[in-house]
Amino acid sequence: MSVWPAWEVQEDDGATSWCHVRLAFTDGARVDALAVVADGHVSIEDVRSQPALCLDDLAALADWIEGPLFEACGFGPLPDEEEGEGEPAGPRRARPAWPRGAEGRWLVAQEYRAAQEDGVDPVLAVMCATGHSRRKSLRMIAQARDAGFLTPRHARR
């Protein structure tokens, strides 16, 4: 998933941001959207997809892109997202539930190594497994390295 800002309107007590969003899937499907972030809410102004989205997928689109949009627009994580151990807060996410803590880091390492063995992009494999953006997936891979589940990226001298 890629998010890049289109434009922003500053108001007295806040800002309204428009962002271009592109979701590209491994099977060649693609969704392009123009999303608006204002007052802690996401609205979709325009959507183009190949192949066409069904109504259920279209209804879930805003919830699925909400977190990465807030991060890209500088609002930080969603207010109901909890940092730390435990289950993710609320059923707001369209992405699969992923365990946090040591178990999550271990699973990231497993996905990473399996992708390497299969000769595919390991970062993309982690992105698909977790449902997170590339940036968040890279952060999770680094945490798995720091925990000792993956070998260090560079040999130390």
Taking only the tens place, the pLDDT of each residue in 112-154 is: 999 888 888 888 888 878 878 888 889 999 999 999 999 887 7
The encoded tokens of residue 71 equal 């991060």
| Stretches in the chain below the pLDDT threshold 70 | 70, 72-97, 155-157
Contact (CB, 8 A) for 77 and 133: no
Q: Which helix (H) or strand (E) holds 33?
A: strand 30-38
The encoded tokens of residue 106 equal 């271990």
- Assign 3-class secondary structure to 34-101: EEEEECCEEEEEEEEEECCCCHHHHHHHHHHHHHHHHHHCCCCCCCCCCCCCCCCCCCCCCCCCCCCH
Q: Which helix (H) or strand (E) holds 9?
A: strand 2-10
Regarding pTM above 0.75, the answer is no
Single-letter code of the amino acid located at 37: V
